[in-house]
Structure 1
Amino acid sequence: MKKKTLPLLLMGAGLVSGSVCAEELVQWHTNSLTYLYGKNFKVDPSIQQTFTFEHASGWSVGDLFLFVDQINFNGKGANDGDDDRTLYGEFSPRLSIGKISGSNLAFGPITDILISMTYEFGKGDTEAYLIGPAIDLAIPGFDYFQLNTYLRTTDGGRPGDNVWQITPAWSYTIPVGRSDLVIDGFIDWVVDNDKNSRGEYHANVHINPQIKYDLGKALGWREKVYVGIEYDYWKHKFGIEDGGYVSEQFVGETNQNTASLLLKAHF
Structure 2
Amino acid sequence: MKLTQIFTACALASTVALTQAAPIWQDFSVTGLYGENYKSPFATGDEKIEQSTVTFEYGAGFKYGDFFAFADRSNNDPDGNETYFEVSPRLSLGAVSGQKLEFGPIKDVLVATTWEGGEGFNNYLYGIGFDLDIPYFKYAQLNFYKADNDKKITQDDYQMTFVYGVPFKVGAEDFLVDGFLDWSTAEDDHASELNWTTQYKWNVGKHISPDTRLYVGIEHSVWNNKYGNKAGIDQNDVSALVKYHF
Question: If the length of structure 1 is used for normalisation, what is the TM-score?
Answer: 0.83
1:143 and 2:132 are equivalent in the alignment? no
1:99 and 2:92 are equivalent in the alignment? no
Look up the match of 2:28.
31
Letter in 1 for 2:241: L
The answer to whether the 8 Å contact 1:179/1:218 transfers is: no
Look up the match of 1:239.
228
Describe the shift of the 1:92–1:103 C-alpha distance in structure 2 as closer, same or farther (beyond 3 A): same
Look up the match of 2:151.
156
Aligned residues: 239
Look up the match of 1:86.
82
Question: C-alpha distance in 2, partners of 1:59/1:187?
Answer: 24
Question: C-alpha distance in 2, partners of 1:130/1:140?
Answer: 29
1:117 to 109, 113, 126: 113
Look up the match of 2:235.
256
1:172 to 162, 166, 171: 166
Q: Secondary structure at the match of 2:162?
A: strand
1:60 to 60, 63, 67: 63
Alignment of 1:213-228 (within 5 A): 213-228=202-217
The answer to whether the 8 Å contact 1:225/1:263 transfers is: yes
Letter in 2 for 1:55: Y
Unaligned runs of 5+ in 1: 245-252
| Aligned-pair CA distance for 1:99 | 1.1
Q: Secondary structure at the match of 1:100?
A: helix
Q: Secondary structure at the match of 2:94?
A: helix
| Aligned-pair CA distance for 1:100 | 1.1
Question: If the length of structure 2 is used for normalisation, what is the TM-score?
Answer: 0.90
Look up the match of 2:187.
194
Question: C-alpha distance in 1, partners of 2:73/2:14?
Answer: 33
Unaligned runs of 5+ in 2: 44-48
Describe the shift of the 1:173–1:35 C-alpha distance in structure 2 as closer, same or farther (beyond 3 A): same
Identity over aligned residues, as a percent? Answer: 36
| Aligned-pair CA distance for 1:34 | 0.3
Describe the shift of the 1:18–1:47 C-alpha distance in structure 2 as closer, same or farther (beyond 3 A): closer
Per-residue CA deviations over 1:151-200 (Å, capped at 9, x if unaligned) read 111123532x331111110000111232311000000011x2212xxxx2
Question: C-alpha distance in 2, partners of 1:15/1:91?
Answer: 12
Letter in 1 for 2:34: Y
Question: C-alpha distance in 2, partners of 1:112/1:187?
Answer: 20
